[in-house]
Structure 1
Amino acid sequence: MTMIRIDTIDGSGSFDAYCAEPAGTPRGAIVVIQEIFGVNPGIRQKCDKWADAGYLAIAPDLFWRLQPGIQLDPDVPEEFQQALGWMGKFDQDAGIRDIEATIRAARTRAGGAKVGVVGYCLGGRLAFMTAARTDADASVGYYGVGIDGLLGEKHAIARPVLLHVPTADHFVGPEAQAAIHAGLDDHPQVTLFDYPGEDHGFAAEMGKRRSEAAAQLADSRTAEFFASHLG
């Protein structure tokens, strides 16, 4: 578990990323895409778990252009508000390019292995965008934020995508969820799972948002998905 530097695609700079390496040869690589709270302890713990499962896991600091090293706690109201502020300033298109740079770095570091991405909250939206815009081998998004507004990009998705949708998400209302299903249920590369009664952030590693049974179910589905498509 260490911090590494990744160069931007256009060579204009570089950014930090948390890197967790498995004990032996990686069975694949996974880029873990942050929430609006930065590469905080919860995101780093996600990486550590993937490394324990045999994957090289890298979480890039996507807010680096705003302020490097942001780490916020969603259970602290003031920090939650700070996170919303950072999200409002964040350039998502630039973020996708940084994720692409991370995918390339992960592929090289893992000896040419396949690379998946998994994102949470803002990262779930970015995972969907990554599936449409990069050569990631498999993509997983948790919580479906704003995906109803990205359905125009679904034609570009050529590799497997898995989406976890909590039905009681107060950031993604019933109409948005219905649009996501209507737009993606028949897509040959996309699988959606609903989580009845669960709210946004239910699969967080720690803190008040975590819903244990649903988190374990979603994470087991993600593990099976990556085992199938990155192996």
Structure 2
Amino acid sequence: MALIIETEQGTFTGYLALPKGPPRGLVVVTQEIYGVNREVRRVADWLAAAGYAAVAPDLLWRVAPELDFGYADRDNARQAIGKLQPERIVSDIAAAAHALRAHVPQGSNLGLALLALGWGGLYAYQAAGLSQASAIVSYYPGNLPNGIDIAKSIGIPQQIHLAFHDERTKPEFRRSLREALAGLDDAEVLVYPDADHGFANRDRQEFHAESARLADDRTLDFLVRTLQHADAPA
């Protein structure tokens, strides 16, 4: 199912997955560089099965609608994201959050989380305020090393899943991130010792079943903990 998302520059869509009953919360899923592909849609469907209304916005629509790159086509995917303006990515994430609230009955009364996959990580952090998010989860955010200060000051619960063997999030970054978040309420930096970048993605060769299962269980626990009594936007 597609959710129509409106911006001042145009209209785009997001993949919408809804639970069978009333949702316990809302989640915006931000994609890796490859588009809203089968794996991103699986994540949205998984969240819906757990009771959340989820949308995965097409963050590449300003290049071309519904782009979907194979994992072997990383160069072209990187070319595509290179054409995007960071501030537009952030505003599109926020627009998706507002559209999801408007679409779901009683959505304005529910807490909303951002769940970022890879490339979507830093932009989700930058969009948290505009999205009026109550929590943020990030899986192997390769661009977050440029946003430690944002993570430190974001002011909402956060859970970050990192892979020990990921060259994008080296040990010195993990150490700096932990130091920056030390003492904050409900801020978790979780490192998976046998995993590499993309370890929770069922369609990537880096998929590591044990780490993915643990990360996903932790994510659902985190969403229950942080969204169950989250304050709705004023």
Normalized against structure 2, the TM-score is what?
0.90
SS of equivalent residue, structure 1 residue 168: coil
2:214 counterpart of 1:211: no
Q: Deviations over 1:111-141 (max 9, x none)?
A: 2221111011111222222335541111101
SS of equivalent residue, structure 1 residue 201: coil
The answer (yes or no) to whether the contact 1:106–1:115 under 8 Å persists in 2 is no
SS of equivalent residue, structure 1 residue 229: helix
The answer (yes or no) to whether the contact 1:127–1:140 under 8 Å persists in 2 is no
Matching residue's letter, 1:33: T
SS of equivalent residue, structure 2 residue 23: coil
Gaps of 5+ in 1: none
Q: Which residue of 1 aligns with 2:77?
A: 83
Aligned pairs, how many? 225
Compared with structure 1, are the counterparts of its residues 207 and 152 closer, same or farther at alpha carbon in structure 2 (3 Å cutoff)?
closer
SS of equivalent residue, structure 2 residue 93: helix
Q: Deviations over 1:176-216 (max 9, x none)?
A: 22222222233334211111131100011323121000000
What CA distance in whole angstroms lies between the structure 2 residues aligned with 1:201 and 1:132? 26
What CA distance in whole angstroms lies between the structure 1 residues aligned with 2:206 and 2:81? 19
What CA distance in whole angstroms lies between the structure 1 residues aligned with 2:130 and 2:149? 12
Gaps of 5+ in 2: 229-234
How is 1:68-217 mapped onto 2 (pairs within 5 angstroms)?
68-74=65-71, 76=72, 79-110=73-104, 111=106, 112=108, 113-131=110-128, 134-154=131-151, 156-217=153-214
What CA distance in whole angstroms lies between the structure 2 residues aligned with 1:99 and 1:208? 28
Q: Which residue of 1 aligns with 2:49?
A: 52
Normalized against structure 1, the TM-score is what?
0.91
What CA distance in whole angstroms lies between the structure 1 residues aligned with 2:54 and 2:162? 23
Task: Report the Cα offset of residue 109 of structure 1.
Answer: 2.1
Identity value in percent: 32
Compared with structure 1, are the counterparts of its residues 154 and 45 closer, same or farther at alpha carbon in structure 2 (3 Å cutoff)?
closer
CA-atom RMSD in angstroms = 1.6
Compared with structure 1, are the counterparts of its residues 48 and 117 closer, same or farther at alpha carbon in structure 2 (3 Å cutoff)?
same
Q: Which moved more, 1:191-200 or 1:209-218?
A: 191-200
Moved over 4 A (4+): none
Q: Deviations over 1:6-50 (max 9, x none)?
A: 011xx2211111101111111111111000000001001111111
The answer (yes or no) to whether the contact 1:30–1:116 under 8 Å persists in 2 is yes
Compared with structure 1, are the counterparts of its residues 182 and 191 closer, same or farther at alpha carbon in structure 2 (3 Å cutoff)?
same
